[in-house]
Amino acid sequence: MNPLRYDLQIIASWIAPAAKVLELGCGEGDLLLWLRQNRQVKERGIEIKESKVVKCIEKGISVLQGDINTEIMDYPDQAFDFAICSQTLQQVYDPVFLIQSMLRVADQCVVSFPNFGHYKTRIQLMFTGCAPVTKELPYEWYDTPNIRVLSLRDFENFTRQAGFRILKKAAINTKNHQMEGKIVTFLPNLSATYGIFLIGHQ
């Protein structure tokens, strides 16, 4: 089995063994498969793209094809221990509603996103005057699925205003196709490529 992407390794380390886990936008199910095989979790995924859903089911992952914003609504309250939304939040129209929904169906939720406050992003904008295109946000402004760009600081401000409680956070810097990386503690908003947050009820 391929090693888990570095940001997913951090998320996986936060998930309790045998937990019930829902992942929104689970892609081809790498994280859920790892969690099932190594943490014996009960997994459920939601993914919109048919080809990725087929890959998940091929691996034996339980997954629903659909839009995370609507599919999350039919689960009973507190049906899961963890809800995970990894690198999809920047594509969500109403993040407050989504995180509220995640906290309705799960005790705790994990969100992660590329950090728009990273120094390379800042430098690109400053010196080229164009919307930055980075390894983490590799799209041109006209073809990007990312309708929100945010920094770690933006997210922390947002959680305070929206009334969410951050239980854990990790600012990370990844390299080598994101398979390796390290936790950043010095000037995270400037030097981290991704932010990962564990959120609980206030």
* Chain positions contacting other proteins, by CB under 8 A: 42, 44, 50, 53-54, 56-66, 74-76, 79
**Measured from the CB of residue 71, what is the shortest distance to other proteins in angstroms?**
8
Q: Which is nearer to other proteins, 61 or 84 (CB)?
A: 61
**Measured from the CB of residue 145, what is the shortest distance to other proteins in angstroms?**
20
Q: Which is nearer to other proteins, 22 or 150 (CB)?
A: 22
Using CA atoms, how far residue 50 sits from 47, 68, 135, 161, in Å, is 8, 14, 25, 36
Question: Can you say how many angstroms the Cα of residue 145 is from the centroid of all Cα atoms in its chain?
Answer: 15
CA 68-72-75 angle, to 5 degrees, is: 155
Question: Can you say how many angstroms the Cα of residue 128 is from the centroid of all Cα atoms in its chain?
Answer: 29
**Measured from the CB of residue 91, what is the shortest distance to other proteins in angstroms?**
20
**Measured from the CB of residue 3, what is the shortest distance to other proteins in angstroms?**
22
Q: How far apart are CA 78 and CA 142, in angstroms?
A: 39
Residue found by looking up tokens 């990725």 in the block: 52
Q: Which is nearer to other proteins, 4 or 105 (CB)?
A: 105
Q: Which is nearer to other proteins, 54 or 149 (CB)?
A: 54
Question: Can you say how many angstroms the Cα of residue 62 is from the centroid of all Cα atoms in its chain?
Answer: 19
